[in-house]
Every structure is written in C-alpha cells, then in structure tokens.
Chain A
Amino acid sequence: MKKKILAMVLSAAMAATMLAGCGGSSTASTAASTAASKAASTAASTAASTAASTAASKAASTAASTAASTAASTSGSSSDLLKGTEFEGVTAKGTYTFNVVVKSFQSTYWQAALKGMDQAVSELGSDKVSYTAQGPNSESDIADQVNMLNSAISAKPNGIALAACDAESVKDSLSQAMAAKLPVVLFDTGVAGAPDGSVAATIATDNSKAGQLAADKMHEILKDKITSATAQVRIGEINQDATATNIQQRGLGFINEMIKLVIADGKTVAVAGNEYYVNAAEGANGKEADANVVIEVAVPAQTTVDLCSTEASKIMSKSDTIGIFGSNQTSAEGVLAANSNLSVLSSDATKGMIAIGFDAGSTIKGAITDGTMAGAVTQSPLLMGYYCIYALTACANGSTIKDMPMDGYWYDSTNMSDPQISPNLYD
C-alpha cells in the first residue's frame, strides 16, 4: 500500500514537473512599474481612435520598418517606439489575456523578447493586458510545441502569439485557431504556406535580408582571399535545423547572396552538405569536386550547442576553410565552442578563419569584443516582443493589422556601443 501511494505521488510529481520543466510561465504583471504605466495610460487615452489607427496602418506599413529601426535607437516612451507604426495610439479596449508560445527558452534571445512584451504590457496597463508564455525545452521539441499550441488554443485566450519551431507541424493548429476565431500573430519566424487568413500578422526580421547582410559582410572581408585563391576554398554554414522558416530563410539568404557575389568575382561555386539547403540553393554554377568556392552547410541532429559544435569542428578542421557562418545564437556559440580546441578564428582574414554569428548573448558579444569573431547580425527581439503585444491588442480590439518586417543589424567591435545597436545586444 505504501509503495502504491508513493508511486502515485511520484507520478503526480513527474506530471507536475513536466509542466514546470517543459516550459515556463511568466505573467506580465511582475514587470510593470507604476510610474511608467500611469504615464503610458494618460498618453494613450489622449491618442487617436480606432478609425485613425486603421488609416495609419494603411499608410504606415511601408514606413513601419524604417520607423522601427530609427525608433530602436531611443529607449524612450511608448509613443516614440510606436510613432509612425500601425500601432500608434493603440489602447486596450477590454481586458485581454494572451498566450505566447515561444520556440523554447534555450537561449537568452527569448528572454529579451519577453522583456519587450513586459514593456508593452506595462504601457497598455497590466490590469487590462496580460500574457502567459510557454515554450518547449529545446527548439527541436516540435511535438511538444504543437501540444502547447493546441492547449493554448483550447484555453480560448484573446489572442495567440507564436514562434513556430517547424512551419509544417503548426498548420493544422493554425486552421483550428482560425475556426475558433482566435487571432494569431507570428513573431520571430513566419510560417511559410500558412492557411489563408489564419495569421493576422507576422512580426519578424526579414530573415532572407539578414542572411544576405551576413554574406555581404563576410564577402567584404574575404574578397581578396577568394579572388586570389589558387586552390579550392571553403565557406561553412551551420544552421541549427532545416525546419524553421526563419532559419531556412536566413541560411538560404546567406547561401544565395554568397553565390551571387562569388560568381560576380568570376569564380565557380558549389553548395554541399545538408540536402535541404543544397537543393534549395539558387544559382550555383559548379560541382563540389572542382568549384573554386564550396559552400558547405551542416545541420546537427538536434538544436543544441554541443551538436552544433561537433558539426562546426568538422568544417573548421578542414585546411581550406576560410570562413564560417552560424545562423543563430545556438549555432554561433557552437562555432565558438569548436574554436576553443581548434583556435583557427580571427577577425583578420590574413591571420585566420573569419566567423560571423547571429543574435547576441554574452558569449558571442565577448568573442566579438576580443576579436575571435569578426561580427554578427543582430535582430531586435525586444522590439519584436513589444510590437507583438501591441499587435495582439489591436487584433483583440477588432482592427486588422499588417505584417511588420524588421531589419537585422550588423555589429562588430567598432559599433557595439552605437545607440542604434546596443539596445538589441541582450545578454
């Protein structure tokens, strides 16, 4: 009898810790400061009505991305960040609760996004707007995320924010949400081929452009090495997966832009490695055996730093590798972990291999400061979270909203403290 009771208690503990362990909940009310919320509510109440905000959204969607990038420089009040965007003047017309499903809490990137959400909630009024955030243990736990999404839909909140680990797997859930008339806002990554009408808006970095930016910068540094090479040279890319739309876009953005630049240099280029990226690349004009430049793409079995590090080691051990790109925080940290044994990286192309990362985090920032990593492209997770809550509020109010593509920013040791860049460099 004792054994049976204990077994039941342990099973209950197992179930309970699974909920605690699988994801976290953070209620937004913890973040608000009374002064800020008072100021925000008086500012919001004197602002325009719904009619004005829909008119502003039509005019402002093209200006939204440039406004967002200049707004990033000011860490100022709500009206500054929202000025010129479709969310200017949005206030909560009722009490709303939202469910946020992030890709995972694996990297500090998501903590930064939640901070932005907390800021939005404190401005809109934590008594009016609140959210709960959940995410699976790792970004490869796709099934876990789909379960969380489905539970979130059945909880019937006023809106759902989603950063999908795998575009294909969430399509069914998106149709369900549409049938239940639940507005869904995608942030950080879109869902390619989402059912029509199921997504209210996508607030994400233009990931293709961000990948292109990384390729442009790497090519700038490596141009001489590529044009004067007498033997084959290799450029590596580590993508943490081949399933999430944003990683696919970033990876392909880098590959396709690098192909264009290398061909413009008069060289032949081939793509090798992970089948998804090899097949989706465009414009390669050579074969792996004899092309002047080989772009080698590796994807680990799971989205963890140690597996990314093993794949990076493989590419970085090759004597003809001149550059390597890690397309998100986890894979960039994998590159740095591999380098701790290989010591091949440098920000000077004549002295070593060039590494370019993505996102921020203290490991990557440290590596850029001390010259191991040449630079990285950062997103604005803070702003994404911030606009996401406003987007959900606008939807819950009944307005229609538009996509908000955001910019990625290149940063290296020279501009890390620029006012436009530094707020995005989370720890």
Chain B
Amino acid sequence: MEKTKKKSVLSLFSNQKYIVILVVILLAAIFMIASADFRKYTTFVTLLDMSYYYVLMGIGVAFPLITGGVDLSIGTGMVCYALVGGYLVRNAGVPVIVGILVALLFGIGIGALNGVLVAVMDLPAFLATLCTCMITRGLGSLLTFKSTVPWPTDKQPGGWFHTIFKITLANNTKIPLGFLWVIILTIIMAFVLKHTKFGRYVIAIGSNKEATILSGINVKFFHIMAYVVCGLFAGLAAIPYASAIPTIQPGTGAGVELDAIGGAIVGGVSATGGSGSIEGTFFGVYVICLLKVGLPFIGLQANWQQVITGAILIGTVMIDIVKKRRAVATGQAVA
C-alpha cells in the first residue's frame, strides 16, 4: 500500500520531463524576484524572441539523439542556411519566401548527407556531423564571398517574415506570435515521436538497433529520416535567427548546437539513445534560454554566467541520474 502511494507523487519526479518543468518555473521565479526589470513584459518578449531558434534546433536534434547519435552540424548549419538564403534575397533580388525555401531545402540536403554518412556508411555520428559542421561553416562563408548578410528589416520591403514571429501593435506593444508556432510544432513533433511509425522506429533504433533490424524494419531509411528531420529543423531555425539578428556573420554559429543538444539532454533525451520526449526538450531548451537572458539581468558578468549555466545543467541532469540509480538499487520500477 505504502509503495504505491509514494509512487503516485514521487513517480512524477522520476521522469526527467517533469523535473525540467520544475527547474524552468524555479529559475523564472528566482529571476523575477531578484530583478525588477526581469518582470517587465518587454523582457519576456526578448527572452522568447531569442529562444525560437534554440527550441527549433532542439526539437530537430532530439531525433538523432534518440537514435543514439548526434548532430553537431546544426549550429553552423543554421547560420549557413540563413547566410545563403539572405544572400540570395539581398544580392540576387529573389523574394524573401524563396530565400526561406532555399534555407529549408539546404537544411534538408545537409540533413540527408548526415543521414547517409551515419546510417549507410556507418560512420560514427559524432565524426560525420563534426565534418559537416566544418563544411557548412566554410560553405556559408564561401557562398556569400565572405560578406555578412543582412535580411530585410521589418521596415524594408520583404520584411514581412518578421511578422511570423512578432507582431507590433499600434501602441508599440509586441506580441510574440512565434511562441505559438513553436508550441504547435512541439505538439506536432511530440505526437510524431510517440504515435507515428516513424517516431516509434526512431526510438527502437536508439534502444536496440540490432533487434530492430532483425524485426525486418528498414532501419537505414528511418535512421536517415531522423537526420533529415534534424536538418529540416535547422533550416527552420534559420528563419527566426535571421529575424532576431540584424546581420548574419559567416563563421559564427559554432557552439550554438551545444546549447540545443544540452537543452534536449536536460529535457530527458538520453545521451545514449532510446528514450526522450519532445516536450522535455522544449522545456530543457528554455532552461538554457532563461539562464542566458536572466543571468545578465541579475548582474552577473559573462564569465560567471557560463560557470553557473554549466553548474545548473549538471544539477538538473544529476537529479534524474540519482533517482534512476536509487530506483535500480531498491528494485523499484523505473518510469
């Protein structure tokens, strides 16, 4: 009797997904208490504005992570796709929608390349995607002849794409519409992961690839598709990135993928594959974004921000690991 009672409340916390929601609420509360400026609506909009591309990358990279791999090319890839799309808009005069489509297609292409390298050629995912990371980093710079690329601002012709993410009302209040899209995409991809054939096979590949192959499933195809989805989302992420950053600089983007991957892992995606959730990833990425925006607000200088971000991420993941260990030791079922 006792065991089942304990399970009902604490079982919530044995799932990393719920721990991470708690951490988000806790961090938001701490920052709001510590800094009056953090409580402002404009800060909320700033936080959301800079979070979209992280969340989209996080959703995308969750798929390769769940297969037991990783995609390190999303950061520099996103910058590359934004550069190429923007370059075409700026210098070749194509309409912005074409620039966006080019970014998406390019993302899918690199995603497919990653997929083939990992799934067909059997290269370790870390190495293969590290290579494509380097390639996209250089490619972005080469294709734009080393120049930085500004996408149209909201006042210029073609600036309509900014309104996808943010609407400005007459009294200058901003409505963060992008948050709605990101939530919708999270719900859709969470459904895809849990309830579609593709999603379930991705999880199966991650938890036991051999068994999945022996079950007669076309593992290669679904494995590649996991990386294609990741590439697609990196391309999608390029659009809010272009909207938030006035000029895109070639050669940047390295390091951004670690924030997305860190967010996914903090949100419960297992680093060795086989388990995880998109909702968890969503909240995990917001832990990182909250820290990025909130720590400067409470007055911490850049070096302290990095130390504390690392410490909090370790702490968030440790809770889950300790819980799992204790569950194994006492013979309880692991959620």
Contacts and interface: CB of A to CB of B under 8 A. Distances in A.
A, B bound: yes
A157 interface: no
B28 interface: no
B141 A6 contact: no
Chain A interface mostly: helix
A10 B127 contact: yes
B212 interface: no
Contact of A3 (B122, B134, B148): B122
Interface stretch (B9-17, B56-64, B183-191, B291-299): B291-299
A52 to B, nearest CB: 39
A341 interface: yes
Interface in B135-168: 135, 137-139, 141-142, 146-148, 150, 153-155, 166, 168
B303 interface: yes
Interface string A11-31: 101100110111010100000
Nearest to A364: B246
A18 B296 contact: no
A366 B156 CA distance: 10
Contacts of B37: 314, 317-319
B127 A7 contact: yes
Contact of B251 (A6, A138, A317): A138
A13 B135 contact: yes
A342 B301 contact: no
A9 to B, nearest CB: 10
Interface string A107-148: 110010000000000000000000000001110000000000
Nearest to B141: A21
Interface residues of B, number: 53
Contacts of A274: 301
Nearest to A296: B299
Nearest to B40: A317
Interface string A321-345: 0000000000001001110111100
Contacts of A198: none
Interface in A220-255: none
B247 A363 contact: yes
A336 B255 CA distance: 23
A179 B249 CA distance: 36
Contact of B137 (A21, A106, A302, A319): A21
Interface residues of A, number: 57
A361 B247 contact: yes
Contacts of A314: 37, 296-297
Interface stretch (A92-100, A256-264, A305-313): A305-313
B260 to A, nearest CB: 14
A17 B138 CA distance: 6
A317 B153 contact: no
A313 B293 contact: yes
A273 interface: yes
Given A111-B147, A317-B37, A13 B306 contact: no
A207 to B, nearest CB: 22
Given A6-B123, A14-B131, A341-B174, A111 B146 contact: yes
Contact of A336 (B134, B246, B292): B246
B9 to A, nearest CB: 37
Given A24-B146, A306-B50, A314-B37, 10 more contacts: A2-B121, A21-B138, A137-B251, A301-B306, A302-B255, A313-B296, A317-B46, A318-B37, A337-B244, A341-B42
17 contacts: A6-B121, A7-B123, A20-B142, A21-B139, A105-B251, A106-B148, A106-B251, A273-B301, A275-B301, A300-B302, A305-B249, A313-B43, A313-B293, A317-B37, A319-B37, A343-B172, A363-B153
